[in-house]
Structure 1
Amino acid sequence: MNFYVRRIAFYIVTLWAAISLNFLLPRLLPGDPAAIMLGKLRRANGGRPLSEETIQTITSILGAEKGMSLWDQYIAYWSRLLHGDLGISSTRYPATVTDLIAAALPWTVVLVGTATVISFAIGLIVGAWVGWKRGTALDHLVPLTTFLQSIPYFWLALVLVAVFSVQLGLLPIVGGYDVFEFPAGPEFSWAFFVSAVEHAILPAATIIISSVGGWLLGMRNMMVSTMSEDYVVTAEAKGLTPGRIRTRYAARNAAIPSLAGFGIALGFVVAGSVVMEQVFSYPGIGKLLIQAIQGLDYALMQGVFLVITLTVLAANFIMDLLYGLIDPRVRHNG
């Protein structure tokens, strides 16, 4: 029980520190980000005056409100966060940051999350088999996947586009869906679903090819190390079948360290693959972040960074709790 209390307390403090830092950073920047944002919003609004609510939101999120102490601003900032108010985007005025993130988040979570899970599963299964068959021709998979992992994201993405989109014409080049198949209402559209899957194949393949080598190598090395443990040798001496020794004794214990890395990888799913989304012009969080940086959209940048931070913390917190259940030694030593 003490293990879980310590972990919960640690993540509560970390969450408070992350949100507080997100509050302080704009106020430590040279100049006045709030004034810059308000100027851009007025230009985006055709020079017409902004509503008092918009001005208060921007100053609360990014700068100092007149007549308010820093502590009062901090309390107001927490209040707005708890109500889901992350400000107004200057590059897409009058859209709110919350709406923009909510629109981009599902695309990144589905694509990058699915690709991460597939990559992890392939690396774990193949790595366990290569480790079990160490010293055979299967070991050649290790340098091959390591080489693929060393290829830069953007270069691999461009190669896939050149081969499968330009030369063969099998898959779309850019975007997340065919604009002509976008559903007009809330009802499900099978044509839109098929279009979204087709547009996701190349981005997902880029992520899988670039990341499977790390999972495979880690699992293979842990499998080789586990095969020399006393409990595996004892199982072999008892005459258990090789399949049972491989799955129940060796692979099961060798996979434990990979689960920690998988939790961290899941935490960064929301961050997306910024380069990949930019190359494929995929409508996810990564592309949204690039657009915010290019347009100096402080409120949108701050909102995206906050969502990414919260997601990473949540994923690590969940994996910490699960890791304590999977491996009792962590609870006793933690």
Structure 2
Amino acid sequence: MKYFARKVGFFVLTLWAVVTLNFFIPRMQPGDPAEIMVQQLAGKNAQLNVAQVQAMRDMLGAPTGSLWSQYLAYLNQLLHGNFGVSYNYFPFSVTEVIGRAFWWTVVLVTVVQVLSFAIGILLGIFAAWKRNGRFDTAVTVSSTFIGTLQPFWIALLLIYGLGYTLGWFPTSGGYEQSTPGWNGAFLYDAFSHAFLPALTLLIVTPIGWILGMRNTMIMNLNEDYIRLARAKGLPDKTVAVRYAARNAMLPSVTGFAMALGAVLGGTILVETVFDYPGLGRLMGEAVGIKDYPLLQALMLLTAVATLVANLVADLLYGVLDPRARRAAA
């Protein structure tokens, strides 16, 4: 019980720190969102009008007063679920803007993370069991090479090859010719638009799982309980799956939970390259225009989701591995 209480206490303390940093970090950036928006409306070389800038601040509901008073007001808004109005998508609220992009990112990145985890774990197990063989060499070398490539570069290659050259898939957007809804035409349209972003992520995301699982399992294969299992004459498949892989997967549980938590952050570069209507593209836009309410909400959403996923993983780790509870005690 002490193990679980300590984890919950750390979660609450970390959550408060995240909320506080989420308030101060955007305000430490140089520039004024109202000035940026007035400059865009007036023209790049036009002289700013002070009255127009102040009117823009009033219209956007920009916070006033000392940082301390703004911080208290910010905490009060969070308690009431009020994230303010988006500067870039005025007059829509931040909640409405995030709601439109939420499911695009959640469906895309969650499916990719689950597939990447399954593919990476299976390849890592087989590579470790057949270590120093041809399969292990091929998997390790190819994973190391692909790991050096940037996702946006792979995205550009897929756009050129499968999009422009062959014309098999759309190169931008989330849907085009169908009406959003649970109908076959829209689902097919959304799937075809999501295929290239998903393929880009599927090329790079399994690498960490492959190498991590392989290395952890190789260490476990040298443990005494593996030698005992082999000495008892158990089949190789049983030793690999029920003994070595089962224990080697414990660190991956935490990593997978944190990866799922980070889903809400989206993939900024990939979504921007494909102009995919997800949370990652929203975050990129919010940083560029200094849309503080939207940026704060996205950062907070990502951080809280990651913290909750990490807490669940820690609690699950304590259930799966009694050694963690004994070590904490």
Give the TM-score normalised by structure 1: 0.86
Which residue in the other structure is 2:65 paired with?
64
Q: CA deviation at 1:64?
A: 2.4
Helix, strand or coil at the partner of 2:182: coil
Q: Does 1:101 align with 2:105?
A: no
Report the CA distance shift for 1:331/1:312 in structure 2 as closer, same or farther (over 3 A): same
Give per-residue Cα distances to partners, 1:105-152, cap 9 Å, x unaligned.
Answer: 211111111111111110101110111111221111111122112111
Q: Give the SS at the match of 1:64.
A: coil
Letter in 2 for 1:58: G
Q: Which residue of 1 aligns with 2:183?
A: 189
**1:110 aligned to 102, 107, 112, which one?**
107
Correspondence list, 1:287-306, <5 A:
287-306=281-300
What do you get for the CA RMSD once the two structures are aligned? 2.6
- Mapped to 2, the partners of 1:29 and 1:291 lie a distance apart of 15
Q: CA deviation at 1:277?
A: 0.4
Counterparts of 2:103 and 2:73, CA distance in 1: 29
Matches of residues 24-173 of structure 1 in structure 2 within 5 Å? 24-25=24-25, 33=32, 55=58, 58-59=61-62, 62-64=63-65, 70=68, 73-139=70-136, 140-173=138-171
| Residues in 2 aligned to 1:293 and 1:196: alpha-carbon distance in whole angstroms | 27
After superposition, the Cα gap between the structure-2 partners of 1:30 and 1:153, relative to the gap in structure 1 and judged at 3 Å, is: closer
Check whether the contact 1:150–1:210 (CA below 8 A) recurs between aligned residues. Answer: no
Structure 2 CA distance, aligned partners of 1:41 and 1:160?
33
Question: Counterpart of 1:130 in 2: which secondary structure?
Answer: helix
Query: Which residue in the other structure is 1:332 paired with?
Result: 326
Deviation digits for residues 6-28 of structure 1 (CA, Å, limit 9, x no counterpart): 11011101111211222334555
CA distance 1:262–1:11, shift in 2 (3 Å): same
Q: 1:325 to 1:259 in 2, by over 3 A?
A: same
Task: Check if 1:243 corresponds to 2:246.
Answer: no
Amino acid aligned to 1:230:
D
Q: Which runs of 5+ in 1 are unaligned?
A: none
1:282-324 deviations in whole A, cap 9, x for unaligned? Answer: 1111111111222222222222112122112111111111111
Task: Tell me how far apart the structure 2 counterparts of residues 229 and 98 of structure 1 sit (CA, whole Å).
Answer: 51
Runs of at least 4 residues off by over 6 Å? 37-43
What's the offset of the Cα at 1:36?
5.0
Cα deviation, residue 38, structure 1: 9.4
What is the correspondence of 1:209-288 to structure 2 with a 5 Å cutoff?
A: 209-288=203-282
The residue number in structure 2 matching 1:4 is 4
SS in 1 for 2:132: coil
Write the distance in 2 (CA, Å) between the matches of 1:321 and 1:194: 39
CA contact (8 A) 2:174 2:190 kept: yes
Paired positions, count: 317
> 1: CA distance between counterparts of 2:217 and 2:23?
45
Cα gap change, 1:294/1:25 in structure 2, threshold over 3 Å: closer, same or farther? closer
Contact 1:292–1:300 under 8 Å retained in 2: yes
Distance 1:26 1:165 in 2: 37
TM-score normalized by the length of structure 2: 0.88
CA drift of 1:177 comes to: 1.5
**1:25–1:156 distance in 2 versus 1, CA, 3 Å:** closer
Q: Structure 2: 5+ residue runs without aligned partners?
A: 43-51
Give yes or no for contact 1:128–1:251 (8 Å, CA) kept in 2: yes
Equivalents in 1 of 2:189, 2:105: separation in Å?
16
Flag the 1:41–1:333 CA change in 2: closer, same or farther, 3 A. farther
Are the structure 2 counterparts of residues 13 and 191 from structure 1 closer, same or farther at C-alpha, using a change threshold of 3 Å? same
Identity percentage of aligned residues: 41
